[in-house]
């Protein structure tokens, strides 16, 4: 990779390309689309956290003038997986707010009124509302067919899965320790709180072709999920991503889209559905509530001899809490010989959880980092020095298996220790806490197309919804690769029929994976341009270099010619083979792990418990910042 000083585009701070549209109100979000003949859908939600559905009667709603469609779970194919059962209940409701029916009417108010005309007869059951209750002996079962880790030879359980990592002999490690601290830590369920609620519009034509417009972090995932729930082929589903007013991991799954399609099919009209704020909180995925136990021991000199973590995560009513990432993260900042980690994925009668900013990691790391701070106090060692002494480094084997490549944890710790905020005295009446942070990062699948216009300007078509400035990042990487100015490039988030497959925007993957596809597509463009320049100059393509946005003969090639810019080559494409299009698809591997160090001064009102954050300092191993302002914004946003 080129050194930092060699970059011309990467590391600059151009204005984000979608900024003007958003600040002027011209950008279209999920609820902004209006189609001819469009009607409005609303969802009837369960008032009970746990109940059998004895019967549903929608005839009262359908008898109302202006109500054009009504559906319940029986109008959908039998759902064999949790995704469909979460979108609409069929035999049993599993949380307060679980969808049981939906209607479509000519106005939103009429649709709301029609919900009151639907009759549902419930057999109310005891709800399971906490981890303690769920794992207690004789607990009510959320799902009578759930067996831990799929082992049907064992009794049904509310524990969907158990994850374990271990190394060495923790018991001996604790025996060797001079000081051992342990604690229990509970964090309640928390919602992402995105400003824009879930919203979509759907149509289906007489040939069964479905089009969905929606606010999402992954429209290819919406296509897959919607097709599965409706029992149709993904070739029948086209999804167009709107602008997105926040997601933070909470817009990676469908809630309304299959309902809107079914209502459109029955009414033969486009259907718009928009959640209100209450529905977002009642019926969509928050992050897990957790109950964590951490134990850590060390010698007097600060050498950590053993650590254990027990992590229980609420999954909501369906399996899939991010306990795996929690187990991967909890001890990742440390180079330890002896440890054990156990994580439980626990069913409760609450909405199915969703991702939320490094899903699963903050809860687990909060517990262990609190314990490490307590250990530092017991040892009389500076908390950063304690972490430096035991810090993971290049070559350290991660708790979950692989060895870390080059990482910046120690650099972050050293920068934190030298920071003026850390050297300053702790304000009177305040406490100071330190914590390391970690996320393993992912790659996954992305595609990109790079189109050259006749004047040499460039369009990027890619399928990663822009939630954190990815349009600008893609343009910067393309500008760097092609050697042309940033302002000659535009990026477009294309629909599912206009570009190749892309996984969702999440998990810190988009700049890495979709950026890799964009760079490779630009390299494809360069290869084609070199061939066309060679054709123009009547030399071999391997005698052509690409330098600063131009094709030039390689040193020593006897060709008395002027360089050809991208615009020159585009202008002449009619004589050299036609339009120029670059493509790439990747299954990106090798994403580097990210570490951070954070410290904060807080005051706590001893009577009310109110916490007042006086100062917060975040230091992150961010790698090369493509657009530094966006990286800073991510750090400021948590």
* CA gyration radius, the chain: 28
Alpha carbons 612 and 610: distance in angstroms, whole number: 7
| Position 577 confidence tier, pLDDT thresholds 50, 70, 90 | very high
Q: What is the pLDDT of residue 2?
A: 39
Arithmetic mean of pLDDT, 186-211: 97
Up-side HSE of residue 280: CA atoms within 13 Å toward CB? 18
Sequence-ordered strand ranges (E) for 235-388: 237-241, 271-274, 290-298, 304-316, 339-347
pTM for the full predicted model: 0.96
Q: What is the pLDDT of residue 6?
A: 85
Q: What is the pLDDT of residue 535?
A: 96
- What is the torsion angle, in degrees rounded to the nearest 10, for the CA atoms of residue 615, residue 620, residue 626 and residue 632? -10
| Position 1 confidence tier, pLDDT thresholds 50, 70, 90 | very low
Q: What is the pLDDT of residue 638?
A: 62
Give the whole-number percent of the chain exceeding pLDDT 70.
99
Arithmetic mean of pLDDT, 590-599: 95
| Position 438 confidence tier, pLDDT thresholds 50, 70, 90 | very high
Average pLDDT across the chain, whole number: 97
Q: What's the CATH fold of domain 39-125+193-283?
A: Aldehyde Oxidoreductase; domain 4 (3.30.365)
Q: What is the pLDDT of residue 79?
A: 87
| pLDDT at 380 > cutoff 90 | yes
| Position 5 confidence tier, pLDDT thresholds 50, 70, 90 | low
CATH 3.30.365.10 is held by the domain 163-190+286-440+592-636: yes
Q: Which option is the CATH number for 4-18+443-588: 1.10.3720.10, 3.60.130.10, 2.130.10.10, 3.30.365.10?
A: 3.30.365.10
Arithmetic mean of pLDDT, 449-477: 97
Q: What is the pLDDT of residue 80?
A: 85
| pLDDT at 504 > cutoff 60 | yes
DSSP notation for 453-464:
-TTS-EEEEE--
How would you label 442-468 residue by residue, b for 16+ Cβ within 10 Å and e otherwise?
Answer: ebbbbbbbbbbeeebbbebbbbbbbbb
Kind plus residue range of the DSSP H or E element containing 547: strand 544-547
Range list for CATH 3.30.365.10 in the chain: 4-18+443-588, 39-125+193-283, 163-190+286-440+592-636
Bridge partners, 436 (sequence order): 597
Sequence-distant (6+) residues with CB within 8 A of 624 are 1, 4, 10, 11
């Amino acid at each position: 990779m080129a050194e930092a000083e060699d970059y011309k585009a990467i590391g600059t701070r151009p204005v984000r390309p979608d900024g003007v549209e958003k600040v002027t109100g011209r950008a279209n979000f999920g609820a902004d689309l209006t189609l001819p003949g469009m009607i409005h859908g609303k969802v009837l939600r369960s008032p009970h956290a746990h109940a059998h559905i004895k019967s549903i009667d929608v005839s009262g709603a359908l008898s109302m003038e202006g109500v054009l469609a009504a559906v319940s779970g029986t109008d959908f194919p039998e759902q064999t997986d949790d995704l469909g059962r979460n979108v609409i209940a069929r035999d049993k409701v599993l949380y307060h707010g679980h969808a049981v029916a939906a209607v479509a009417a000519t106005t939103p108010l009429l649709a709301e009124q029609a919900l009151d005309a639907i009759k549902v007869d419930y057999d109310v059951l005891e709800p399971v509302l906490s981890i303690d209750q769920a794992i207690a002996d004789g607990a009510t079962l959320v799902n009578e067919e759930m067996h831990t880790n799929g082992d049907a030879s064992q009794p049904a359980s509310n524990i969907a899965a158990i994850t374990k990592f271990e190394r060495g002999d923790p018991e001996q490690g604790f025996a060797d320790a001079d000081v051992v601290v342990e604690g229990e830590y509970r964090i309640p369920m928390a919602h992402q709180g995105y400003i824009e609620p879930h919203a979509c519009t759907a149509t289906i034509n007489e040939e069964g072709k479905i089009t969905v417009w929606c606010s999402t972090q992954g429209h290819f995932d919406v296509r897959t999920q919607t097709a599965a729930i409706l029992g149709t082929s993904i070739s029948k589903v086209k999804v167009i991503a709107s602008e997105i007013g926040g997601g933070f991991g909470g817009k990676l799954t469908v809630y309304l889209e299959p309902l809107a399609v079914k209502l459109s099919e029955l009414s033969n009209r486009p259907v718009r559905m928009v959640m209100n704020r209450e529905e977002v909180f009642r019926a969509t995925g928050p992050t897990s509530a957790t109950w964590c136990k951490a134990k850590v021991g060390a010698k007097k000199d600060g050498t950590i001899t053993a650590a254990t973590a027990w992590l229980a995560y609420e999954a909501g009513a369906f399996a899939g809490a991010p306990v795996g990432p929690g187990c991967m993260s909890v001890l990742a900042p440390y180079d330890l010989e002896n440890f054990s980690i156990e994580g439980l994925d626990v069913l409760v009668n609450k909405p199915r959880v969703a991702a939320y900013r490094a899903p699963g990691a903050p809860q687990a790391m909060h517990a262990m980092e609190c314990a490490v701070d307590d250990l530092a106090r017991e040892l009389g060692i500076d908390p950063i020095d304690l972490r430096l002494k035991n810090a993971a480094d290049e070559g350290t084997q991660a708790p979950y298996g692989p060895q870390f490549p080059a990482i910046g944890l120690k650099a972050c710790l050293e920068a934190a220790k030298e920071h003026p905020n850390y050297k300053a005295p702790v304000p009177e009446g305040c406490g100071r806490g330190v914590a390391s942070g970690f996320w393993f990062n992912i790659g996954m699948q992305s595609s990109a197309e790079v189109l050259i216009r006749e004047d040499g300007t460039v369009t990027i078509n890619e399928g990663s919804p822009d939630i954190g400035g990815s349009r600008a990042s893609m343009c910067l990487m393309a500008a760097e690769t092609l050697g042309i100015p940033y302002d000659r490039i535009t990026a477009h988030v294309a629909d599912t029929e206009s570009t190749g497959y892309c996984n969702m925007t999440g998990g810190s993957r988009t700049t890495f994976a979709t950026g890799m596809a964009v760079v490779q597509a630009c390299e494809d463009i360069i290869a084609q341009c070199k061939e066309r320049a060679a054709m123009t100059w009547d030399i071999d393509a391997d005698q052509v270099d690409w330098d600063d946005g131009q094709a030039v003969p390689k040193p020593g090639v006897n060709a008395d010619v002027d360089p050809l810019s991208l615009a020159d080559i585009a202008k002449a494409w009619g004589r050299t083979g036609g339009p120029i299009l670059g493509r790439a698809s990747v299954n990106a591997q090798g994403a580097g792990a990210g570490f951070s160090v954070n410290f904060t001064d807080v005051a706590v009102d001893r009577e009310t418990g109110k916490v007042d954050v006086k100062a917060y300092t975040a230091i992150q191993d961010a790698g090369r910042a493509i657009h530094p302002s966006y990286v800073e914004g991510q750090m400021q946003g948590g």
